[in-house]
Structure 1
Amino acid sequence: MIKEMYERGMSISDIARELGIDRKTVRKYIHSPNPPSKFKRKPRKSKLDPFKPYLQKRMLEDGVFNSEKLFFEIRQQGYTGGKTILKDYMQPFRETAKKKYTVRYETLPSEQMQVDWKEVGEVVIEGKKVKLSLFVATLGYSRMKYAVFTTSQDQEHLMECLIQSFKYFGGIPKRVLFDNMKTVADGREQGVVKWNQRFSEFASYYGFIPKVCRPYRAQTKGKVERAIQYIMDHFYVGTSFESIEELNFLLHRWLDQVANRKPNATTGIPPQERWAEEQLKPLPQKDYDTSYLSYRKVHWDGSFSYKGEQWLLSAEYAGKEILVKERLNGDIRLYYRGEEISYLNQQKKVMAFAEKIKKGSSPQSVLDKERRS
Structure 2
Amino acid sequence: MLREDGVREVLARLQRGERIKAIARDLGVARNTVKRWQRLGGWRPRPSGHRPCQIDPYRPFVERRGPEVNWNGRVLHRELQTLGFAGTYQQVQRAIQPLRVDRAWAAVATVRFETTPGQQAQVDFGQTRLWIGDRLEVIHIFVFTLGYSRRLWASAYPHERLSALLDGHERAFQHFGGVPLECLYDNPRTLVLGRREGRVLWHPVWEDFARRYGFTPRACQPIGRRRRAKSKVA
State yes or no: 1:204 paired with 2:202. no
Give 1:166 shift. 1.0
Give 1:197 shift. 0.9
Judged with a 3 Å threshold, the aligned counterparts in structure 2 of structure 1 residues 213 and 160 are, in CA distance, closer, same or farther, namely: same
Match of 1:115 among 123, 131, 137: 123
More contact order relative to length (CA 8 Å, sep ≥ 6): 2
CA distance in 2, matches of 1:169, 1:133: 21
Judged with a 3 Å threshold, the aligned counterparts in structure 2 of structure 1 residues 147 and 219 are, in CA distance, closer, same or farther, namely: farther
CA distance in 2, matches of 1:220, 1:166: 27
Instruction: State how 1:1-373 maps to structure 2 within 5 Å.
Output: 102-121=110-129, 123-221=130-228
Structure 2 residues not aligned, in runs of 5+: 1-89
CA distance in 2, matches of 1:217, 1:171: 32
Q: Which one has the largest radius of gyration?
A: 1
Judged with a 3 Å threshold, the aligned counterparts in structure 2 of structure 1 residues 91 and 147 are, in CA distance, closer, same or farther, namely: closer
Give 1:95 shift. 6.5
Indicate the SS of the match to 1:153.
Answer: coil
Structure 1 residues not aligned, in runs of 5+: 1-81, 224-373
Identity %: 31
Q: Deviations over 1:90-123 (max 9, x none)?
A: 99998676555722111111111001111213x3
Aligned residues: 142
CA distance in 1, matches of 2:140, 2:153: 14
CA distance in 1, matches of 2:229, 2:150: 11
Q: Deviations over 1:312-336 (max 9, x none)?
A: xxxxxxxxxxxxxxxxxxxxxxxxx
Give 1:213 shift. 1.4
Q: Deviations over 1:159-207 (max 9, x none)?
A: 1001111111111111101111011110223443211111111111111
Normalised by the length of structure 1, the TM-score is: 0.33
Judged with a 3 Å threshold, the aligned counterparts in structure 2 of structure 1 residues 98 and 129 are, in CA distance, closer, same or farther, namely: closer
CA distance in 2, matches of 1:143, 1:128: 34
Query: Which residue in 2 is equivalent to 1:302?
Result: none
Kindly report the root-mean-square deviation, in angstroms, between the aligned alpha carbons of the 2 structures.
3.3
Normalised by the length of structure 2, the TM-score is: 0.51
AA aligned opposite 1:136: V
CA distance in 2, matches of 1:101, 1:214: 18
CA distance in 1, matches of 2:214, 2:190: 18
